[in-house]
């Protein structure tokens, strides 16, 4: 594969603070043309998996090489669609999780979880019916729906163009920050493991966080996922992303469960959280020597810093849905690529932090956001732009725009020396004859 395939891996490995020379270990292969989109989705998918695999062999002290198969990558990025439970296909989006036409545009809602569905219906003042929600949304402006639903504790986002997102305060905040942040918080020694497996405490929800911890479990970590007793993960999401893990239920508001959780955290090596910023602050999750990874939808800054969010909503707010859609209706990426990509990147950041911690010590904090990954997709990865491969030529037929030749080599021609002439206008003889 050419250098543009390698570019994404190089960019991510640099953001992770890795040795640039290690990128040479990565070998790419497999079928091409997967996850087609206007944005370079396959490049994002390939690069995040490559960076995660590279971080894994670095942490394990293996020589490599790292092999990245596009078929495996593309399939994993839609793993939730391929899932079957006793032959039954999964439910990935509930009926009220969809686009709705508003009075001045479009709104996308997320109502997969029962409490989010209830908040949506309360905000709109309608019964549980697609027709009722459609009617309520159609009579309001998109941003009004967004504001009302979020105020009620639900999730709805008005469709924005890339320009509208970039001009807004949250868009400016996202653009001003790096793809991810990695911090050394103190001089504490790493957690003593004594030969036992890496212990990862998983406090995440659909999809990015669970993909990260699923990957760490694949690599040998003992992953224990904790959910509230009354709000477990959705069954199909659990079946897809909790492979390799153990799961438990704890109510951190109950004293006995809180003591159990604190004991688990005291003996953990890694903590991964995926709840909205600030939601877990009251539980005092800091421990010396711990590697903590925090994932959010919009980032823990700006006016949207405390908002809940999911991949589908981030696509709508940041302009991705507008880019992938048409004048008639919004579109979507061919996969929940922000979720899956951020998941592999999060796992890579954890592994890199553990690798550095072995020699440098220090408690570690890494932070990622789906909106940051979306910004990286739309602004950092090379995109196919036909204009780069078109030229204009003056000739007897007028000004022509045409494609450059794909035949290219060192010392070869830069282009044709003759423009097309009028049909039959040349003498039927060789020059100089």
| pLDDT reported for residue 221 | 98
Q: Residue 364 and residue 219: Cα distance in Å, rounded?
A: 20
| pLDDT reported for residue 252 | 93
| pLDDT reported for residue 206 | 87
Mean pLDDT of 92-111: 96
Cα 48 to chain centroid, rounded: 9
What share of the chain has pLDDT > 70, as a percent? 99
Q: Is the pLDDT of residue 143 over 50?
A: yes
Q: Residue 213 and residue 209: Cα distance in Å, rounded?
A: 6
pLDDT in tens, 363-417: 999 999 999 999 999 999 988 888 889 999 999 999 999 999 989 899 999 889 8
| pLDDT reported for residue 384 | 81
3-state secondary structure of 430: coil
Is the pLDDT higher at 394 or at 232?
394
Q: Is the pLDDT of residue 1 over 50?
A: no
The mean-pLDDT minimum among 141-155, 303-317, 387-401 falls in 387-401
Q: Residue 96 and residue 103: Cα distance in Å, rounded?
A: 18
Residue with tokens 């810093």: 305
Q: Residue 295 and residue 188: Cα distance in Å, rounded?
A: 23
Mean pLDDT of 13-38: 96
Q: Residue 425 and residue 421: Cα distance in Å, rounded?
A: 7
Q: Residue 330 and residue 377: Cα distance in Å, rounded?
A: 18
Peptide bond just before 170 cis, omega within 30 deg: no
Q: pLDDT-based confidence at 218, cuts 50/70/90?
A: very high
**In sequence order, which residues have a C-beta less than 8 Å from that of residue 368 and are 6 or more positions away?**
179, 180, 208, 293, 294, 295, 296, 342, 345, 346, 349
Query: Which residue, among 150, 433, 178, has the nearest Cα to 301 in the 3D structure?
Result: 178
Mean pLDDT of 270-283: 92
- Name the pTM for this structure: 0.93
Retrieve residue 85's tokens. Answer: 């439970």
Query: Which residue, among 421, 380, 375, has the nearest Cα to 173 in the 3D structure?
Result: 375
3-state secondary structure of 24: helix
pLDDT in tens, 80-90: 999 999 999 99
Q: pLDDT-based confidence at 232, cuts 50/70/90?
A: confident
Q: Residue 197 and residue 218: Cα distance in Å, rounded?
A: 12
Is the pLDDT higher at 186 or at 230?
186
Is the pLDDT higher at 251 or at 433?
251
| pLDDT reported for residue 3 | 65
Report strand pairing: 66-69 vs 26-29.
parallel
pLDDT in tens, 324-358: 999 899 999 999 999 999 999 999 999 999 999 99
What share of the chain has pLDDT > 90, as a percent? 87
Q: Is the pLDDT of residue 153 over 60?
A: yes
Mean pLDDT of 202-221: 96
| pLDDT reported for residue 5 | 82
Retrieve residue 155's tokens. Answer: 């999730």
* Averaged confidence pLDDT in the chain: 95
């Amino acid at each position: 594969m050419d250098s543009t395939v390698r570019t994404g891996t190089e960019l991510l490995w640099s953001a992770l603070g890795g040795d640039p020379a290690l990128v040479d270990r990565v070998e790419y292969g497999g079928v091409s043309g997967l996850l087609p989109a206007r944005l370079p989705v396959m490049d994002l998918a390939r690069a995040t998996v490559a960076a995660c695999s590279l971080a894994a062999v670095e942490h394990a002290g293996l020589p490599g090489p790292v092999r990245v198969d596009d078929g495996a990558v593309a399939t994993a990025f839609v793993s939730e669609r391929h899932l079957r439970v006793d032959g039954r296909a999964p439910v990935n989006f509930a009926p009220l999780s969809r686009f709705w036409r508003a009075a001045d545009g479009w709104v996308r809602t997320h109502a997969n979880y029962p409490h989010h569905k209830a908040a949506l219906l309360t905000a709109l003042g309608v019964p549980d019916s697609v027709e009722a929600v459609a009617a309520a949304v159609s009579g309001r402006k998109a941003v009004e729906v967004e504001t009302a639903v979020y105020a009620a504790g639900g999730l709805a986002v008005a469709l924005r163009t890339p320009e509208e997102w970039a001009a807004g305060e949250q868009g400016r905040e996202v653009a001003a920050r790096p793809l991810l942040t990695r911090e050394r918080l103190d001089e504490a020694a790493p957690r003593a493991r004594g030969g036992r497996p890496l212990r990862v405490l998983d406090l995440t929800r659909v999809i990015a966080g669970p993909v990260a911890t699923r990957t760490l479990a694949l690599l040998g970590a003992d992953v224990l996922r904790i959910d509230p007793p009354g709000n477990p993960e959705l069954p199909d999401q659990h079946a897809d992303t909790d492979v390799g893990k153990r799961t438990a239920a704890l109510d951190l508001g109950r004293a006995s469960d809180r003591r159990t959780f604190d004991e688990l955290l005291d003996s953990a090596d890694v903590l991964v959280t995926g709840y909205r910023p600030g939601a877990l602050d009251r539980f005092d999750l800091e421990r010396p020597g711990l590697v903590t990874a925090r994932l959010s939808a919009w980032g823990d800054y700006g006016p949207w810093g405390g908002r809940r969010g999911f991949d589908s909503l981030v696509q709508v707010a940041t302009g991705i849905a507008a880019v992938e859609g048409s004048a008639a209706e919004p579109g979507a990426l061919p996969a929940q690529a922000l979720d899956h990509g951020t998941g592999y990147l999060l796992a890579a950041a954890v592994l890199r932090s553990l690798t550095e911690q072995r020699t440098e010590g220090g408690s570690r904090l890494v932070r990622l956001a789906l909106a940051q990954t979306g910004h990286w997709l739309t602004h950092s990865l090379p995109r196919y732009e036909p204009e780069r491969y078109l030229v204009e030529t003056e000739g007897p037929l007028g000004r022509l725009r045409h494609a450059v030749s794909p035949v290219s080599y060192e010392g070869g021609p830069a282009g044709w020396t003759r423009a097309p002439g009028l049909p039959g206008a040349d003498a039927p003889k060789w020059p100089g004859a």
